[in-house]
Amino acid sequence: MNLTNKVAIVTGGGQGIGEGICEILAKNGCTVIVTDLNSNSAKNVANKINSMNYKSISHQLDVTKHEESSLISQKVFDQFGKIDILINNAGIVAAPNWESKQKLTEDDWNLTFQVNLRGLAKVTESVIPFMKNAKYGKIINIASVAGRIGGTFHPPYSSTKAGVINYTQSMSTKLAKFNINVNAICPGHVWTGLAHRTSMNQKISQGEKKSSLRDVFENNIKTWVPLQREQKPQDIGYLAAFLASDFSKNITGQAINIDGGIYMN
Ligand SMILES: NC(=O)c1ccc[n+]([C@@H]2O[C@H](COP(=O)([O-])OP(=O)(O)OC[C@H]3O[C@@H](n4cnc5c(N)ncnc54)[C@H](O)[C@@H]3O)[C@@H](O)[C@H]2O)c1
């Protein structure tokens, strides 16, 4: 994929799937603006990319602080003269420490909505004017296989991810005339901080003491995934790089699963 001279903003890029996406975009020639709630992790990822002789800078960005999104997008435009790609990756299952709870609270619902859906839309709104002026843009939203079909997983999470898929379709329609493509990726099981917390929650709610968190994760894969293997952050990065490239110029409004075959459509 040739992303030379492209400029991308990635939210929640400081670890996990976001970090994998930053790495793959950078290796394909893109200048990557790693943003995260946690400024140190964003800085570490940008430093790692620069140490491999690819291009990256970092900014702290809490996607729930809407004025921060506008400020960062303006800063990126002032420094690089354009914003070609936005990867909306930041996401949570619920408010901090949710994994130790049996029942989610009002705060969990609110924060999950604020990060996964409203925050994602606000970051999107902050880049649209620049993309519209350039008559060029690629917006990629990280949804989830949990947003495809309701199940036992936490409803605030699943329903916001279903919302991300619908938002992707709406925005792709609205922005098509400006040559802006909007697509979503639905990952399955990726071993990240979020997956650790999910395994922990599963263990607690099943009163199960013996298995390690990794055992719980692997057991879920054996139970649910036809290909019987986990997805890596870089797998999500490869599809993000394709959707950010001009090879995918006629693909818009799609949600593409990378889940080893859990959900087929
Ligand atoms: N791990 C999986 O199995 C899986 C599966 C499907 C979808 N996803 C989605 O992939 C995305 C990345 O998840 P992950 O597994 O890498 O999780 P993670 O918890 O490892 O990483 C999430 C990152 O988002 C950042 N973040 C959290 N709140 C933020 C905020 N308000 N503003 C900005 N950044 C914030 C965190 O600091 C962290 O760096 C999420 O949208 C998640 O829902 C993950």
Domain that holds residue 50: 7-190+232-258
Residue 30, in any domain of the structure: yes
Residue 158, in any domain of the structure: yes
Residue 106, in any domain of the structure: yes
Ligand 1 atom with minimal separation from the 116 CA:
41
Q: Is 40 in the pocket of ligand 1 (CB under 6 A)?
A: no
Residue 198, in any domain of the structure: no
The answer to whether 188 touches 260, Cβ cutoff 8 Å, is yes
- Residue with the smallest CA separation from ligand 1 atom 41 is 91
Q: Domain count for the chain, please give it.
A: 1
pLDDT (tens digit per residue) in 7-36: 999 999 999 999 999 999 999 999 999 999
Mutate-to-test residue for ligand 1 from 36, 165, 259, highest number of ligand atoms within 8 A of CB: 36
Average of pLDDT values for 243-248?
Answer: 97
User: Is 167 tagged catalytic?
Assistant: no
Q: Is 192 in the pocket of ligand 1 (CB under 6 A)?
A: yes
pLDDT score for 145: 96
Report phi then psi at 215, rounded to 5: -60, -40
Q: Is 260 in the pocket of ligand 1 (CB under 6 A)?
A: no
Residues 6+ apart with CB under 8 A from 244: 1, 3, 6, 8, 25, 30, 84, 85, 87, 138, 140
* Residue tagged active-site, from 54, 157, 238, 263: 157
State the chain's mean pLDDT as an integer: 96
Average of pLDDT values for 215-243?
Answer: 97
Q: Is 41 in the pocket of ligand 1 (CB under 6 A)?
A: yes
The answer to whether 235 touches 19, Cβ cutoff 8 Å, is no
Q: Is 89 in the pocket of ligand 1 (CB under 6 A)?
A: yes
User: Does the structure show a pLDDT above 90 at 153?
Assistant: no
For residue 112, report the distance from its CA to the centre of ligand 1, in Å: 11
Burial of 152 (0-12, 13-18, 19+ CB in 10 A): exposed
Query: CATH number of the domain that 42 lies in?
Result: 3.40.50.720
> Considering the entire predicted model, what is its pTM?
0.97
Q: Is 64 in the pocket of ligand 1 (CB under 6 A)?
A: yes
pLDDT score for 208: 82
Tokens 């080893």 label which residue?
A: 260
Residue 18, in any domain of the structure: yes
Residue 119, in any domain of the structure: yes
pLDDT (tens digit per residue) in 46-83: 999 999 999 999 999 999 999 999 999 999 999 999 99
Average of pLDDT values for 197-207?
Answer: 90
| pLDDT bucket at 207, cuts 50 / 70 / 90 | confident
| pLDDT bucket at 45, cuts 50 / 70 / 90 | very high
Residue 87, in any domain of the structure: yes
- Residue with the smallest CA separation from ligand 1 atom 38 is 12
The answer to whether 63 touches 164, Cβ cutoff 8 Å, is no
Residues 6+ apart with CB under 8 A from 223: none
Residue 45, in any domain of the structure: yes
Residues 6+ apart with CB under 8 A from 47: none
